[in-house]
Amino acid sequence: MKTFRASVSKLVLAVSLSHLTMQAACLAQPQTLPSYSQAVEQSATGTGVVYPEKNTGERRQQPVDKLPETERSQAEKERLSQVQFTVDPRTQIQKFLSTLKLPNERPILARGNLNYIESDALIRMFPNSVFYVLRFPQWPLAIEPPQPLGNNNIFVISKEAKGITLITDKNKEQCKQFLITKLPHSQSDQKAIQAVKAALTLMKELYQDGMFGFENEAKAIYATKNDGITHAGGTLSVIPQGGNSGSISVNITFDANGAASEIKCESNLREGMRPICQSTKLLDPDPIVRKMAEQDILIMGSSAKEYLNWQREQVSPELRQAIDQIWERIIREGR
């Protein structure tokens, strides 16, 4: 019995030490390099992680910091065809971003993703406007965007108004105020419910950290009228994957004239597994560390795609192959 207990104690200690080793390694994340291929040849470590070379006194050309180009979705193309802007909304957003003060030592905009927000409720509530979200990654290390941007930024471009409206996750009251000011008057329960769905769509984007998956449809939606005052609300739940759980709820009060007079939003989101440095440990000499890294990535599943894509551009061909293999497994197993 003593021998068995001693063996168990040694195993627990080994796992604990391996976990501490992985955490310590995460503190030395590889940095983005101007030339990945050259860096891989010269600076790859035994685990396939690429670290910056020592300063040789040579000045390297700084990469241009701009948003990566993304292909427009079919929904975005159809929406722009309907509204017919004089100036393309993405061009307007790029022009706004060009006025911001960006740091010279590291790329910021290059890490962002600008996407059209597809929502039938937003179209019905705001027929002459389009909505985009600019999101900066928060994992494994949070990006610090320039003022006035946050990690999640909603751009509202209206055909009727000049300029753009910016709503950030740093002040979610901005979103409530925007809705109170811009929501059309609601004289029916159906319109009140559409307003709730539109509000949930925007709030979801502000609470997102890039790793949550949400249900397609809101639940527990209601609209009741009492003495001319309408109360409407609903809940949008998180898909319980990778340890994520919780929901976002919105409640809107419409006065006797149908105008939104008060909006309440509550969130009880709980984060599950998140990227730290798991992909960089897939070739770790310690088999326990390798197994822990694989399990973490498999638990995160498809939500880790952006993180894996970013990491694979900074590592050796061997580690890139390991990342590709685990991504293929995620797809194959439908994770």
Q: What is the DSSP string of 175-195?
A: HHHHHHHHSPP--SHHHHHHH
Give the contacts of 206 (CB within 8 A, at least 6 positions apart).
152, 154, 167, 168, 169, 172, 175
**Widest Cα–Cα separation across the chain:** 80
Tell me what pLDDT residue 61 has: 57
The pLDDT of residue 46 is: 54
CA dist 289 and 244 (Å) reads 23
How many C-beta atoms lie closer than 10 Å to residue 324's C-beta?
A: 12
pLDDT along the chain (335 residues), means of 10: 45 42 46 35 50 47 78 96 95 95 85 96 97 94 90 95 91 96 93 98 96 94 95 97 96 96 97 93 94 95 92 92 96 94
pLDDT at 39: 36
The confidence score (pLDDT) of residue 13 equals 44
Q: How many residues does the chain have?
A: 335
Are 283 and 47 in contact by the 8 Å Cβ rule? The answer is: yes
Residue 120 falls in which region: left (phi positive, over 0), alpha (psi -120 to 50) or beta:
alpha
pLDDT at 86: 93
The pLDDT of residue 224:
96
CA dist 89 and 97 (Å) reads 12
Q: How many CB atoms lie within 10 A of CB 155?
A: 21
Q: What are phi and psi of 129, to 5 degrees?
A: -130, 155
